[in-house]
Structure 1
Amino acid sequence: MRKMLTDMLEEDNRINVIATARNGADAIEKVRIHDPDVVTLDVEMPVMNGLEALQQIMKSTPKPVIMVSSTTKEGAENSVLAMSYGAIDFIAKPSGAISLDLHKVQNELIEKIHLAASVKLSKVLSTTKEKKKDLIVRKDHLVNNSSKRLLDKKIVAIGTSTGGPKALQKVLANLPADINAPILIVQHMPVGFTKSLAERLNRLSKITVKEAEDGEVVKKGIAYIAPGGYHLKVRCIGPTLAIKLDQSPPENGHRPSVDTMLNSIAEIKDYSTVMVIMTGMGSDGTKGLLKLKESTNVVAIAEAEESAIVYGMPRSVIKTNKIDEIVHLDEIAQTIQKYCR
């Protein structure tokens, strides 16, 4: 696996593999000696596993880390846990611990390594909010929605990608159990990983967090995470809303897609939407925001650059000039509550 990874990565002339490690303990020492820009770390290793090594690396010599994981239930749980420990992202092996077909994820892995190299580690490691004057200035030109009239029935819709699991943990863990809205979430993740994410977030939150199921009626105080490989939509069944999952073609290269979720919400009448776009690469969510603004009563919130691990998705929606509030990650839960009262 080490040889395969090395050969794959070095096909990209921007990447130089400066060392490989046999196990987690060896990895800690190699990181200390060679000072790499990015580390790829297998979850399953002898002597010291990837999770233990990750914690030591982030403590002693912090680096952007991409986890390499199998798609087993244990592998998925460990990948989600790794991101809470500071890993930037993960790549799923196509066929188990020894994946001889690893070339199937070559382009995705290379893309994630380049992205990780550009991430500011201070954002990954930071746990406290830094108030900055430029953030306050940028909020001055936004619509003051503190008194905006929203309909009694509300939906919270959250879209995120790279860096999202940690950001979701911060937001969902700070929402009250009696929040006056259901919460729909699209987190870009492959099949097999979203259930583990939902289970972990559920353990850490006062609200119920679950992987969405086709046909279930949405309820206040429950967060529904789109399953990997399925679009998450909502539809009216009489006076209630229900989840609709489908495998229609990917949008923006994603399934689930934030745009697809928002477009379906835009068709729902008699509801206001509190939309939040957080850390992630690309522009997924931008078209959906524009559709919501055309047809519904919506408050649009974007994560501030100061806290976003990857600023792509928030930057894209902010450029539309349709965002109502730009908020540091530490304040997103409070801002959601303000509009759900």
Structure 2
Amino acid sequence: MQNIKVLIVDDSAFMRKMINDFLSEHQAIEVIGTARDGRDALKKIKTLRPDVVTMDIEMPVLNGLEALQLIMEEHPVPVIMLSSTTKQGAENTIQAMAYGAIDFIAKPSGPISLDLHKIKEELIQKVISASNANMTSLAKKPTYVKSTITQTREYSKIERRDRSKLPLQQGALNKKLVCIGTSTGGPRALQQVITKLPKNLDAPVFVVQHMPAGFTKSLANRLDSLSDVAVKEASDGEIVQNGTVYIAPGGYHMLIKEMGGNLRIQLDGSTLPRNGHRPSVDVMFESISNITGYSKIAVVMTGMGADGSQGLMDLKKKGVVIAIAESRETSIVYGMPKAAVATNLVDEVQNVDKIAETIMKYV
């Protein structure tokens, strides 16, 4: 098996050396070069042909965002962004995901992080994962348009006025909810799904995207600006509303509870991460499995690992659930959807551009 060839792009010589040292320790990784800015990176990508690029966002001459767009147009390759945890850094990182970066890592303490060793293992694992990314899907420029899906047909007013007199789908319940789990490649996938949901969506949507604290709010704000439905970072104790997408904050498990006839969100920052993740898709799915009186649509999209598959089994055991998995063809990393499909509980496997439509079919 050939080593994973990595190009490191950072304007700091200290950071380039630290990242080089960390990655070079792993027997499956070979650092084939470094670059000091985006323009230098573009030249070296053409000549060195790396398998993975790690790239700082804040650089002179040509910054990480500018360079990333050119890389994806000219020489698509998996790119992992290194970002600061400032508000601007988080916003730039979410923008980078939209431009085609496969993943990102938050620097522990600013542009020059002397404590970079804290993210050493994460960096190595993400480089290995990125080397297996589906670049065919990633290199395609998705077009994001607001929803063209209508929730109901021409007689929708009648349906809404007296839904109790109309036949339900087999085994379905009047009240619906949607829950989505995703990881690597998720911000891009979520943008394709959530922007296509109609503003009169008669269900709440709960999302777990594996991200550290500080980045989920920027993700929610971006999706809210692009979507007809309301999108927000979830708050502890809030009452759930239909037509709203709630994204679990980084660093907190998100649980959905029935209280006094309403659904409420409970955030838990004290329980340990599940399989390395907090928020965890399994934790969210398991909490939703205990909710009665709702039919549920559960969606598992791109991401490494198997988060969501155990929770899906709990959902299916306890209620009326339609399970949707993203296809191998469009998943940036076909890990989580593959694990979900392996449970034999998935009802539909769909390309990411068809997932919103499929959700609406059941809502």
Counterpart in the other structure of 1:216: 238
1:33 deviation in Å?
A: 1.6
SS across alignment from 2:32? coil
Match of 1:231 among 240, 244, 253: 253
Distance 1:72 1:116 in 2: 25
Find 1:87's aligned residue among 75, 79, 101: 101
CA distance in 2, matches of 1:2, 1:304: 36
Corresponding residue SS for 1:184: strand
Please give the secondary structure, in 2, of the residue aligned with 1:171: helix
Corresponding position: 1:320 with 2:343:
yes
Q: Which residue of 2 aligns with 1:280?
A: 303
Letter in 2 for 1:165: P
**Cα deviation, residue 315, structure 1:** 0.7
Q: Secondary structure at the match of 1:283?
A: coil
Unaligned runs of 5+ in 2: 1-14, 144-167
Q: Distance in 2 between matches of 1:232 and 1:83?
A: 23
> 1:257: which partner in 2?
280
Distance 2:345 2:72 in 1: 37
- Alignment partners' CA distance in 2, 1:23 and 1:314: 36
- Matched letter for residue 37 of structure 1: D
Q: 2:61 aligns with which of 47, 66, 71?
A: 47
Task: Give the Cα separation in 1 of the matches to 2:51 and 2:305.
Answer: 22
TM-score (norm 1): 0.93
Distance in 1 separating the partners of 2:27 and 2:187: 31
Deviation at 1:252, TM superposition (A): 1.5
* 1:125 is the counterpart of 2:139: yes
CA distance in structure 1 between the aligned counterparts of 2:192 and 2:142, rounded to whole angstroms = 11
Corresponding position of 1:175: 197
Matches within 5 A, 1:196-215: 196-215=218-237
Cα separation, 2, equivalents of 1:284 and 1:191: 19
Q: Counterparts of 2:216 and 2:326 in 1: how far apart (Å)?
A: 22
Q: Which secondary structure state, in structure 2, belongs to the residue aligned with residue 272 of structure 1?
A: strand
Tell me: higher relative CO, structure 1 or 2? Use CA pairs within 8 A at least 6 residues apart.
1
Q: Which amino acid aligns with 1:53?
A: A
Query: Given the two structures, how large is their TM-score scaled by the length of structure 2?
Result: 0.87
State the alpha-carbon separation in 1 of the partners of residues 346 and 275 from structure 2.
21
How many Å apart are 1:91 and its aligned residue? 0.6
Alignment equivalent of 1:300, drawn from 308, 320, 323: 323
1:267 aligns with 2:290: yes
Report how far residue 177 of structure 1 moved: 0.5
Deviation at 1:306, TM superposition (A): 1.1
Larger radius of gyration: 2
- What's the RMSD between the two structures over aligned residues? 1.3
Deviation at 1:212, TM superposition (A): 0.2
Q: 1:188 aligns with which of 210, 214, 217?
A: 210
Q: Give 1:147 deviation, angstroms.
A: 4.6
Taking the aligned partners of 1:289 and 1:120, their CA distance within structure 2 comes to 25
Give the deviation of 1:127 after TM superposition.
4.9
| Identity across the alignment (%) | 57
Q: Which residue pairs with 1:166 in the alignment?
A: 188
Q: SS in structure 2 opposite 1:290?
A: helix
The alpha-carbon deviation at position 128 of structure 1 amounts to: 7.3
Find the partner of 1:11 among 4, 25, 33. 25
Specify whether residues 171 and 117 from structure 1 end up closer, same or farther in structure 2 by C-alpha distance, changes over 3 A only: same
CA distance in structure 1 between the partners assigned to 2:132 and 2:285 by the alignment: 29
The letter for the 1-side match of 2:311 is G
Aligned partner of 1:266: which letter?
S
Q: Counterpart of 2:156?
A: none
Unaligned runs of 5+ in 1: 130-145
Partner of 1:132: none
Equivalent residue number for residue 361 of structure 2: 338
Determine the C-alpha separation between the residues in 2 that align with 1:127 and 1:5.
Answer: 30
2:126 matched to which residue of 1?
Answer: 112
- Which residue is equivalent to 2:151? none
- Inter-partner Cα distance in structure 2 for 1:335 and 1:56: 34
| Aligned equivalents of 1:312, 1:7: Cα separation in 2 | 28
* C-alpha contact (below 8 Å) 2:182/2:210 kept by paired residues: yes
The Cα shift of 1:250 comes to 1.1
Q: 1:291 corresponds to which letter in structure 2?
A: D
Q: CA deviation at 1:288?
A: 0.6
SS at match of 2:40: helix
